[in-house]
Structure 1
């Protein structure tokens, strides 16, 4: 199984966003693209489940969520809105999982899923 790059769940600062960068604090990788276009692009390290069978998708996603420590996050890339997954996570782990859409279709959905700081697995 591939190890996901776990990142801090903190959002980039306004200054970082205004600078056109990715928010990592130094690369300035805006590349001249509109933020909407950048958000649609699958990034290295995303948990891209589009090529997996539906049963395998859920297994991989839930394993990635279970591996999160408080304050950590990963980016899920999917070919449809994973809203039912959000409802299931909220029901099973109320108040513990953060969910932020980075791109909302029509072809690619990217969601940053995080474990809320102060909650343990």
Structure 2
């Protein structure tokens, strides 16, 4: 059984413009202390450098689970609500 309340495989989401809204919505659905897993075919750094800090300031922590070269996985933990 998984510890993740949400899992988003970004590689499977089409069209492209639906990718971030899916990640965003999954994070929003988490309760404090819950976590989600993200999978992609490239690094998540742009999401956590630009988008999440703007949309969810101070509300999350993230950690690499796998860093390529073919699969990138991170866990994102909701640490507080605003």
Distance 1:94 1:56 in 2: 22
1:46 CA drift (Å)? 3.3
CA root-mean-square deviation: 1.6
The structure 1 segments of at least 4 consecutive aligned residues displaced by more than 6 Å after TM superposition are none
Structure 1 runs not aligned, ≥5 long = 7-44
TM-score by length of 2: 0.82
Structure 2 runs not aligned, ≥5 long = none
Of the two, which has the highest radius of gyration?
1
Aligned to 1:107: 70
Q: Whose strand proportion is higher, 1 or 2?
A: 2
1:64 and 2:19 correspond: no
Task: Kindly tell me the number of residue pairs found equivalent between the two proteins.
Answer: 77
Q: Which has the higher contact order (CA 8 A, sep 6+)?
A: 2
Q: Whose helix proportion is higher, 1 or 2?
A: 2
2:56 aligned to which of 77, 93, 107:
93
Aligned to 1:49: 10
TM-score by length of 1: 0.58
1:47 CA drift (Å)? 1.5
